[in-house]
Amino acid sequence: MDTTVSTPAPERKKIIFSGIQPTGVMTLGNYLGAVRNWGPLQEDYHCAYSIVNMHAITVRQDPKALRENTLRAYALLLACGIDPKKSIVFIQSHVRTHAELAWVLNCYTQFGELSRMTQFKDKSAKHADNINAGLFTYPSLMAADILLYQTDLVPVGVDQKQHIELARNIAERFNGLYGKTFKVPEPYIPKVSAKIMSLTDPTKKMSKSDENPNSFVAILDDESTIIKKFKRAVTDSEAVVAYREGKDGINNLMAIYSSVTGKSFQEIESEFDGRGYGDFKTAVGTVVADHLKPVREEFARLMNDKAYLEDCYRNGARQALELSQRTLDKVYKKVGFVL
């Protein structure tokens, strides 16, 4: 009698895709709310991370600055814990399949869908002198970014859910016409994700586009700059460190302190009981500066080793092309292109 016990096949790791634009500045909000979480995801998922420089040119860019910012953004991802040996980390323009699939998906995306996209409306208002076709159709390119890798999950903030919904709609429409071709992606929203607000107007999300440089902390700011910005943060006249309605400034600082130290709001309230806002703001600035110090140091090291960076992004592009080409070939065959 055969007594062999069959071992179940290991469960397939799900695929995660995410991209960031090469803006030259990553804020504390970007880091705590998203990028810091990407490193740990590598242990449980197959991850692909891209510097989406093709999306960047929907608004006018200085070519020299774009090249530099693309390299800096790539180095920053690695400095934040993305391991090119565990994840596919690449520059979007190095992988031609993104542009090629985007054109096909343009033909399966409805004009009305694109015209309803909130970011198109916002950017059109900000760049009224350059409302170009790429600005209108870039959600199709974003869908291509995601669908090329048969992505299961896309880490997103609430403000990006509209783009994931469009990618899902396009995938379902194409699958309905030609049979299962694309994995229909789901948004991945971490259970604990800090939403970091402006230091000068805590009713608004922290943003690098804010005209007031004191409103945001860039993760490459030096220690003294970070502490100064927190010392200038808007609070209230109550002088009590407590998390409650009507205390937006203190609530934001407590959220930042909690996110960096792991302490609960109750523990923070106890720690600063009877102490003034000056002590609290200095403490928040100090823990943030200390927390970001290893990132700053690793970023500086990587930027001084351009050969290593190039080796990483060239290898990442080869891996991305190999994986994405399978999807593109399938799509080309489905729509009737001669291969």
Instruction: Centre a 10 Å sphere on the Cβ of residue 49 and count the other Cβ atoms it contains.
Output: 26
Per the structure block, which two tokens stand in for 28? 């504390």
SS3 letters for 255-266? HHHHHHHCCCHH
C-alpha distances (whole Å) from 150 to each of 42, 171, 180, 205 are 17, 10, 11, 31
Check residue 111 and give left, alpha or beta (phi > 0: left; psi -120 to 50: alpha).
alpha
Per the structure block, which two tokens stand in for 277? 């806002």
Which residues are known to be catalytic?
123, 205, 208
Taking the C-alpha atoms of residue 316 and residue 84, their distance in angstroms, rounded to an integer, is 7
| H or E stretch covering 17 | strand 15-20
Check residue 221 and give left, alpha or beta (phi > 0: left; psi -120 to 50: alpha).
beta
Taking the C-alpha atoms of residue 310 and residue 190, their distance in angstroms, rounded to an integer, is 31
Taking the C-alpha atoms of residue 188 and residue 170, their distance in angstroms, rounded to an integer, is 19
Cα dihedral across residues 272, 275, 278, 279: positive or negative: negative
β-sheet bridge partners, residue 50: 19, 90
From 92, 112, 103, select the one nearest 169 (Cα to Cα).
112
Instruction: Centre a 10 Å sphere on the Cβ of residue 112 and count the other Cβ atoms it contains.
Output: 7
